[in-house]
Amino acid sequence: MMSIRKTYERILCHRWCYLLPVLLLLLPLINTARADGGVVLCRRKATPFDITVFSAEMPLRPGPADLSVLVEQTQEHSPILNAQVLIELEHEAEVIIRTEATRSQARNKLLYCTLINLPAAGPWKMKVLVRRGNDAAEILSDLVVLPPRPVLLSYWQLIAAPPLIMTLFVFNQWLRRKPFNSQSTTRIARATGLNFEG
């Protein structure tokens, strides 16, 4: 009974030796949970609408930024599909960007989407204007655009892949190596005429 238990414990330990390094290596690759439009930047109630703004990437950095807007009716919480959505971004350096978000640009047809090129890092003011028939609403929010990421940090996953694969291969070979066998050594010594003994 004890030998079966020891064998089971040894098998379990052996499996964890394979699984634990893989899990530890996958942890940095896990991204944050995202909705269909990305990460929620802001959500405001502006009667008669509930307006939610998403960003595909977080944090925002200079360059292309994919912004999506979900417009819902305040009371029914059902999406509005025939609104006009205008987005205006204003930087502290007097840079103003105006664009219209449309459903034709969005993969999720419940969202209004636009691709904006952010030219500079720093604080931005975002204004979202929604019109539908005679109804209109506007929300304001602050955005922080971080400086561009260094090139090595941008591509660290690609740079780390070859050494990681080589390390996993070496670890695999180390786990598979056979224990030292004195009979095979003796046979090799006789065949080659070498003496490995004392």
CB of 105 closer than 8 Å to CB of 87:
no
**What are the phi and psi torsion angles at 159 (to 5°)?**
-70, -35
pLDDT at 98: 95
pLDDT above 50: residue 32: no
Q: Tokens 């040894």 sit at which residue? A: 10
pLDDT at 120: 92
- pLDDT tens, residue by residue, 134-162: 999 999 999 999 998 887 777 777 888 88
pLDDT above 70: residue 196: no
What pTM value is reported for the model?
Answer: 0.63
- pLDDT tens, residue by residue, 74-127: 888 899 999 999 999 999 888 999 999 999 988 888 999 999 999 999 999 999
pLDDT at 50: 94
Between CA 144 and CA 126 the distance in angstroms is: 10
pLDDT above 90: residue 20: no
CB of 85 closer than 8 Å to CB of 97:
no
Higher pLDDT, 78 or 8: 78
Q: Which fold has domain 39-145?
A: Immunoglobulin-like (2.60.40)
- pLDDT tens, residue by residue, 60-71: 999 999 999 999
Mean pLDDT over each residue of the chain, to the nearest integer: 82
What is the arithmetic mean of pLDDT over 25-48? 72
The answer to which of 19-33, 34-48, 77-91, 124-138 has the lowest mean pLDDT is 19-33
